[in-house]
Structure 1
Amino acid sequence: MFKVVTPQTDEALTAYYHFRWQYLRQPWNFPPGSEKDEYEQVSEHRMVVNGQGEIIACGRVHLNTAEEAQIRHIAVHSGYQRRGLGQFMLNALESVARELGAIRAVTNSREISIEFFKACGFTVEREAPNELGLLKRQQMVKKLDDFSLLVMHPQWCQELQDTWTETIPITEHMGIKLHQYTGKTLETRASLNKNINIHGTMFAGSIFSLATLTGWGMIFLQLKDKGLQGDIVLGDGNIHYHKPITMKPRAVCNIERLKGKFNLLSKGKKCRLELEVEVLDDTQAVAEFHGIYWVLPKEDNK
């Protein structure tokens, strides 16, 4: 499973900066150390790691003003490109920017990455200063306070939220909300205050429910994407808890961790789907959920 983490130890920061240099500076023959600038201490740093804890993507964001965040240094491992990890990393940085209060994001893009940022909702505003005096760039901007930019297919996402509220009342009591959907990743959040136990942490049962509903929601949205309908039921679910939640309950499901044959529904057959959901306390991974769901066909699929 891919997950976004914050490099916090000296060892993790060293690996993070080396990865940045390796993919963003070394190809242009800049020396180690050139990947850093005067904003490192006031920036939020993030990296994506695989199941073995290896860095496969990185990025950084800092505030230029109270309302404007600057996103920089997004890089993806050459062995993991074209798998949506650049967008996965960008979404994580935009989420951090929103939490910092920014309503606008800017990035200075090189020629080779302009189309990527355009596909993610950015537009070219003006020419930016050359990077390290050599690499030509364009400043690109994106509004962060537009819900339609936070989620892909906002109508589907609203329908999912309404379905939860109307048919699964526990979501309202737990304060579970769809936070972000990119087409590849679904993130949900819950209210800690509505799920807190006598120890000041989130109930284990609430964590399980958050993970279960996140997996259910990902399947709901994938059915929409494929033009299929079905009744989604949980067949089996297992969760491994590592740490308590004391701050910000989050659950993330990535399409890479969803397995199954949706096309069985179009043949009038039920389909078995397997997926994994990562539960976090802010940016700290605290639990992993493995679920088996069944989708029962409806006549409209035929």
Structure 2
Amino acid sequence: MFTIEKPTSDQDINAYFAFRWLWLREPWGYPKGSEKDEYEGVSEHRMVKNAKGEIVACGRVHLNTTEEAQIRHIAVAKEYRRKGVGQIILSALEQVARDIGAERAVTNSRESSIEFFHSNGFEIIDEAPNELGKLKRKQMRKQLFDNNKMVLHPQWCRELQRTWHDEIPISEHMGIKLYQYTERTIETRASLNKNINLHGSMFAGSIYSLATLTGWGMIFLQMKQKKLKGEIVLGDASIHYHKPITMKPRALCNIESLNAKFDMLERGKKCPVSLQVNILDEHKQVAEFSGQYWVLPPKS
């Protein structure tokens, strides 16, 4: 029985770094402290514990860019190697990378671990600087896809994502992405790490922006479905917050909540659209957004 944990207490943090030094630095004669670098404070750390609460594997991931995450310092205790524990910690780090908005993961693999990463979907793309001045490494990369992701009309969805990033650049910096579209439901997600406040929860303004863009996206995709064109603007909105977001920001808009007079747009008149967006922290509803939008007919 294994559990995946994020080290938070002083005891866990000290044990995490001690484990990393033991398996990644001590065998090469490097002193304690050499297992750390300048990226520790901006990284997400994970460790695998056995049924006795002992650390048996660890690893770290941080963002290089808004699209690319780097996985580093994976270590597995010798007696747990070739027992699937390496896959457990790698999968956990890949999921963290997805959650913080990365589209691909890279790692600089020692020659001894190339086969492991290759068997988990990574491909060699280039040479990497030697580790500790002596260990040869290869840079490897993997595209990150979520197996639960269902997107109909992928061309429209890609156009929506590009439109957000091109016309609302802050959406890219917030890590807001279309996660799912099924013609009746749109789901978007945001990176908590990119929108976190000093209390460890998501900024209220970021939640509002996520909800606004989700509603905007639902109208955009519905217009694509109906072969209509127009400029979507937000007229008025309200949001009710119940609980903070501390895990996984999600926004859902269902077709049942949408009330639109698209026939007015067909007649060249501006079209009112009202809808609701539910905000969740993973599976728990934490806020409701009501928006009044307008779709302006194309200019002649």
Q: What's the TM-score once normalised by structure 1's chain length?
A: 0.51
- Which digits, 9 at most, give the CA deviation of each residue in 1:199-248, with x for residues without a partner? 00000000000000000000000000000000000000100000000000
CA distance in 2, matches of 1:149, 1:195: 23
CA distance in 2, matches of 1:295, 1:148: 32
Report what 2:287 is aligned to. 287
CA distance in 2, matches of 1:219, 1:147: 26
Say which SS state the counterpart of residue 155 (structure 2) adopts: helix
CA distance in 1, matches of 2:297, 2:257: 22
C-alpha spacing 1:147/1:265, structure 2 compared with 1 (3 Å): farther
Shift of 1:148: 11
Say which SS state the counterpart of residue 277 (structure 2) adopts: strand
1:243 counterpart = 2:205: no
How many residue pairs match? The answer is: 161
Any gaps of 5 or more consecutive residues in structure 1?
A: 1-97, 100-144
Say which SS state the counterpart of residue 161 (structure 2) adopts: helix
CA distance in 2, matches of 1:160, 1:273: 18
1:277 counterpart = 2:285: no
Shift of 1:278: 0.1
Say which SS state the counterpart of residue 150 (structure 1) adopts: coil
Report what 1:193 is aligned to. 193
- Which digits, 9 at most, give the CA deviation of each residue in 1:110-129, with x for residues without a partner? xxxxxxxxxxxxxxxxxxxx
C-alpha spacing 1:222/1:272, structure 2 compared with 1 (3 Å): same
Letter in 1 for 2:223: L
Shift of 1:146: 8.5
Q: Mapping of 1:77-92 within 5 angstroms?
A: none
1:205 counterpart = 2:202: no
Report what 1:73 is aligned to. none
C-alpha spacing 1:147/1:220, structure 2 compared with 1 (3 Å): farther
Percent identity reads: 68
C-alpha spacing 1:154/1:190, structure 2 compared with 1 (3 Å): same
The structure that has the greater radius of gyration is: 2
Q: In 1, are the aligned partners of 2:239 and 2:289 still within 8 Å (CA)?
A: yes
Say which SS state the counterpart of residue 228 (structure 2) adopts: coil
C-alpha spacing 1:210/1:223, structure 2 compared with 1 (3 Å): same
Q: What's the TM-score once normalised by structure 2's chain length?
A: 0.51
Say which SS state the counterpart of residue 198 (structure 2) adopts: coil
Say which SS state the counterpart of residue 229 (structure 1) adopts: coil
Say which SS state the counterpart of residue 263 (structure 2) adopts: helix
Any gaps of 5 or more consecutive residues in structure 2?
A: 1-97, 100-144
1:174 counterpart = 2:174: yes
Say which SS state the counterpart of residue 218 (structure 1) adopts: helix
CA distance in 1, matches of 2:277, 2:186: 10
Say which SS state the counterpart of residue 273 (structure 2) adopts: strand
Report what 1:267 is aligned to. 267
Report what 2:140 is aligned to. none
Letter in 2 for 1:205: G
Q: In 1, are the aligned partners of 2:149 and 2:180 still within 8 Å (CA)?
A: no
